[in-house]
Every structure is written in C-alpha cells, then in structure tokens.
C-alpha cells in the first residue's frame, strides 16, 4: 500500500536488504519498530546516517496518553531498556502499570473505569524504543498519524510531524451489486468490558428488530471488504481509550458503511456529525437504532465520508508532502508492517 502510493507518485522504491541498497539513496523510510528491537537495526540506521541519507521513522503503533501524571513512576517506565525483557522485568512493569492506572482514574479517557492496566504494556514499549532511537541520533524525523501521539512525544521533548493516515483502495472499496443486508457490524477483538457492552447493544437492537453481527477473528483483505460492503453501519469501540486509530475508519468509510463510534476528542480530519457519528457508551444502541430508521441521514454521512477519502485523504496526498523533495528521490523502504 505505501510502496504502491510512493511508486505512483514517481518515487523509485527499494526494499532494504544490505547497505549496498543505500547507493544513490536519498531517504530511508522505516515503518514501526515492532518486534525488531533497536540493536538489530541500529547498524542499518547508522550506515544510512553516515551516508547523509534522511532517516524517517513512521510511528504506527499506539503510544502512551499525553496526559500522564508528572511522576517518577512514568519516568522509570520510559527509561531505556534491553530489546528483550526478562520475566522478572515484565512482572515489575505489570505492578507499575497497575499503580499508574490508579493514578489515571480521573482522566477523561478513563471515564468508565474499565481500563485494563496491561494495555499500557505495548504503548510504553513502543515509546521506549522510539525515544531511545531519537536520543541516540538514529533517526532524523518522526511521522505520527494521530494528534495524541504527537502530544505525547512533545511531553518528552521529541519533535514529530503530523500526517493523517491516508486512504488506499486496498483498505476497502465499494463493490457493485452487493446488498446492504447487515444492520450493524462490529469487527474487532472482544476483550474485557467489550463483551458486556456488545451483549447489551445486541439485545437492545434485537428488541427493536435489528441485528448486530460480531466478527472477532480471521477477517482480512477481500473477505473484510465483502463484509463491510454488506454493513449499513460499522460500530467502532475504544481500543486504547485515549486514541482513535484511523485505519479501521478508512476501511469502513471506503466500503461506504456509516461509522458510529464511542465519543472521542481527537477525530481530525473527520468531523462528528458530518463524516461519522459519535455517541456516549450508554447511548450507542439507541443511536444505532435512530440511524437504522433514517436511511437519508445515514446516506448523507456515508457520502460525505467517502468524498473526503477520495478527494482529500488519498495516501499519496497525505504521505508525499511529509517526505517531499524538489525532485523525485529514490527511497529505501524498511518495515515489518505489511501495508
């Protein structure tokens, strides 16, 4: 998806395998740290820097919330550490996450007090790796696709460039002659808290004569596109409650399904009421029923969202300005994410 967008925009893209791939290169794009760790790829990043190649890191995974308490506990959790942790370290971190969750009970994103402290693990691991790479001068620029991630990095004195995650047809697109025969679809993992909420929504919809279809595993690519093309409304629930990743929104909107989400603060470039509908958790079922009864209102939101994707949020329009140069450069592509 990313490589296709860059190629379409006139860039020559080479997947990095050895340092010889840096010959005539202008930019190295690294997408996520994931399971790599820093030690395995530090040599690659240093080699690129020694050649004067611009090293851009695109952070796609979640980062901690920007409104963490100013405490020694947070500083300790963000201290650099080894790429691979021991069982004892994980145990101690788990205890620390439980304490931190208690310190965050008054945060707006924790309004329902259903947050599982273990959900802190990935964001803090990602933050530690990213901050370490920046402090060690292994990367020159950081791109983030959510305002909350940019705000968090700013609290640690790490600058970043905001770039909305752009739409590509591979995420989802309209399919001809596909009936919208599914009232509401939820696509995602059923974890603690979600199970009770989904059961409540499902029961209320059934009492009103509608059905909630839950798909919690093994739905990707073309199968996911076919599913979303059948959905009138896609229900979006909080993952990490302080941020709203856009990729699943793009999937649904690209298939011309209306998105109804729990209330979030950071939704740009989407505007609630115009490109999607937002509702407090207690009102999700009643809001779904309202829009299932109102085809015209639902279609208005679907059309506005799809128009925004096609006209303003194409991946090449969002991404290329962040790495643009006066002449189309040769880009080395490095990442574990399959996009």
Sheet containing 54-59: give its strands across: 12-15, 330-335, 27-31, 54-59, 141-144, 161-162
Q: What is the pLDDT of residue 36?
A: 52
d(CA 84, CA 74): 20
Cis-peptide into 269, omega within 30 deg: yes
Q: What is the pLDDT of residue 37?
A: 56
Q: Is the pTM of this model over 0.85?
A: yes
For residue 40, count CB atoms less than 10 angstroms from its CB and return exposed for 0-12, middle for 13-18, buried for 19 or more. exposed
Q: What is the pLDDT of residue 173?
A: 97
Please state whether beta strands 12-15 and 161-162 pair in parallel, antiparallel, or not at all (unpaired).
unpaired
Q: What is the pLDDT of residue 40?
A: 67
Q: What is the pLDDT of residue 333?
A: 53
Q: What is the mean pLDDT of each run of 10 residues along the chain (339 residues)?
A: 79 86 89 64 90 93 94 92 74 92 90 81 93 94 92 96 89 96 94 87 97 93 96 92 90 98 88 96 96 98 97 82 55 43
Q: What is the pLDDT of residue 261?
A: 95
Q: At what angle do helices 284-293 and 295-312 cross, to 10 degrees?
A: 100
Q: What CATH number labels 169-312? A: 3.40.50.2000
* Residue 142 and residue 61 in contact, taking contact as beta carbons nearer than 8 Å: no
Look-up: residue for tokens 């963000």?
78
Q: What is the pLDDT of residue 35?
A: 54
d(CA 63, CA 11): 30
Q: What is the pLDDT of residue 336?
A: 39
Listed in order, the ranges of the chain carrying CATH 3.40.50.2000 are 169-312
Cis-peptide into 236, omega within 30 deg: no
Closest CA to 228 of 296, 264, 178: 178
Q: What is the pLDDT of residue 104?
A: 93
Q: What is the pLDDT of residue 33?
A: 62
Q: Which residues pair with 333 in a beta bridge?
A: 15, 29
């Amino acid at each position: 998806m990313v490589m296709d967008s860059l190629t379409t925009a006139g860039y020559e893209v080479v997947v990095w395998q050895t340092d010889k791939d840096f010959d005539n290169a202008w930019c190295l794009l690294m997408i996520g740290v994931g399971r790599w760790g820093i030690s395995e790829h530090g040599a690659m990043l240093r080699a690129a820097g020694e050649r004067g190649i611009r090293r851009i890191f695109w952070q796609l995974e979640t980062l901690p919330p920007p409104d963490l308490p100013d405490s020694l506990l947070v500083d300790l959790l963000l201290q650099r550490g080894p790429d691979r942790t021991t069982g004892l370290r994980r145990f101690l971190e788990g205890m620390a996450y439980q304490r931190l969750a208690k310190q965050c009970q008054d945060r707006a994103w924790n309004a329902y007090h259903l947050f599982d402290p273990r959900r802190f693990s990935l964001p803090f691991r990602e933050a530690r790796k990213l901050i370490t790479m920046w402090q060690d001068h292994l990367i020159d620029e950081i791109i983030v696709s959510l305002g909350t991630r940019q705000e968090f990095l700013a609290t640690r004195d790490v600058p970043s460039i905001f770039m909305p995650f752009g739409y590509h047809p591979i995420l989802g697109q309209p399919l001809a002659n596909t009936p919208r025969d599914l009232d509401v679809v939820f696509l995602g993992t059923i974890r603690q808290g979600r199970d009770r909420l989904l059961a409540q929504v499902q029961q209320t919809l059934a009492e009103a004569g509608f059905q909630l279809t839950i798909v919690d595993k093994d739905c990707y690519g073309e199968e996911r596109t076919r599913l979303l093309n059948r959905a009138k409304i896609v229900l979006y629930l909080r993952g990490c409650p302080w941020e709203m990743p856009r990729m699943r929104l793009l999937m649904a909107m690209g298939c011309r399904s209306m998105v109804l989400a729990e209330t979030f603060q950071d939704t740009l470039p989407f505007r609630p009421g115009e490109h999607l509908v937002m509702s407090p958790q207690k009102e999700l079922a009643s809001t779904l029923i309202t829009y299932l009864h109102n085809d015209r209102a639902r279609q208005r939101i679907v059309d506005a969202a799809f128009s925004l994707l096609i006209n303003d949020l194409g991946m090449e329009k969002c991404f290329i300005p962040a790495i643009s140069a006066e002449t189309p450069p040769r880009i080395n592509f490095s990442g574990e994410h399959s996009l």
